[in-house]
A and B are shown apart, each in its own frame.
Chain A
Amino acid sequence: MKSTLAVVEKLHADGIIGPYAVGGAVGAAFYLEPVATLDVDIFVLFEPAPLILTLTPIYEACARLGYEAEGDAIQIEGWPVQFLPATQPLVAEAVRNAVNRQSDGLTTRVMSAEHLMAIALQTGRAKDYARLVMFVEAGVAGPDRLRDILARHSLLDAWAKFEHRFLKS
């Protein structure tokens, strides 16, 4: 995984991808106990937004580095990596506000805990709710910041339902 994220950062440094952020289960692992996952979600901002959004340049650059596409992901250093355009407003904001992490020569960018929670709530699959419960139990999110994000993206009702369903026991 370290080598995978190093390649993603290199793609960014080389200008192949714009601002990016690690999301999904791998992003959550920066804040929570790690949970098994099969792939890496990398959300990428395309700025300025092109007329036709295509991931072809990313696939071509990866192929030049020896990383081939497999289904809807690219195999990079043993992990399938999905490059996902951050076109939806909440996801785009999450990428813009991503946190830089640096350690031991590795640099990467990760979505904030609050944005990961809001995206999980918006996505709303069983595994997203499970991750949300883990975030709540861990107490790693800033309540004011989370409320602000939820309010701006019309997710307060969804949050109330989530609380009622999963936290009121």
Chain B
Amino acid sequence: MSSDMQRIVQSKDAERRRLRELPWLEKLEMLDKLRERHLWLRNTRAAGAPLLNAPASDHDKPGQ
């Protein structure tokens, strides 16, 4: 693993640790917000659109 990647992983681990150690009442409030965001994302995504059969974007085209 490159040192850049190592730094990213360490920073993510530190953030996860911070979240884990929050008081449980704060975590309950976070669950409210996470649920709202999850529902919003679900509603904005095309209902039932297959994940892998979507039309290729420019990025997916050969040579891009």
Q: Do chains A and B interact in one complex?
A: yes
Check A37 for interface membership: any CB of B closer than 8 A. yes
- A59 proximity list for chain B (CB < 8 A): none
Contact A29 B28 (CB under 8 A): yes
Check B45 for interface membership: any CB of A closer than 8 A. no
Check B59 for interface membership: any CB of A closer than 8 A. no
Contact B28 A138 (CB under 8 A): no
Contact A37 B25 (CB under 8 A): no
Contact B35 A37 (CB under 8 A): yes
**In A63-84, which residues have CB < 8 Å from any B CB?**
78-79
The proximity string for B residues 20-63 relative to A, scoring 1 for CB distances below 8 Å and 0 otherwise, is: 10011101111110110111000000000000000000000000
Chain B at the A interface: mostly helix, strand, loop or mixed?
helix
The proximity string for A residues 8-21 relative to B, scoring 1 for CB distances below 8 Å and 0 otherwise, is: 00000000000000
Q: How distant is A126 from chain B, measured CB to nearest CB, in Å?
A: 15
Contact B29 A1 (CB under 8 A): yes
In the assembled complex, the Cα of A45 lies from the Cα of B30 at a distance in Å of 28
In the assembled complex, the Cα of A27 lies from the Cα of B61 at a distance in Å of 44
Contact B39 A34 (CB under 8 A): no
Check A26 for interface membership: any CB of B closer than 8 A. yes
Check A33 for interface membership: any CB of B closer than 8 A. yes
- A32 proximity list for chain B (CB < 8 A): 20
Contact of B35 among A5, A33, A79, A106 (CB under 8 A): A79
Check A152 for interface membership: any CB of B closer than 8 A. no
Which residues from chain B sit less than 8 Å from chain A, CB to CB? 16, 19-20, 23-25, 27-32, 34-35, 37-39
Closest 10 CB pairs of A and B: A33-B19, A36-B34, A36-B38, A1-B28, A34-B30, A34-B27, A33-B20, A29-B27, A33-B16, A1-B31
13 example contacts (A-B, Cβ-Cβ < 8 A) are as follows A5-B28, A26-B31, A29-B27, A29-B28, A30-B24, A34-B19, A34-B27, A35-B34, A36-B34, A37-B35, A103-B23, A104-B25, A140-B20
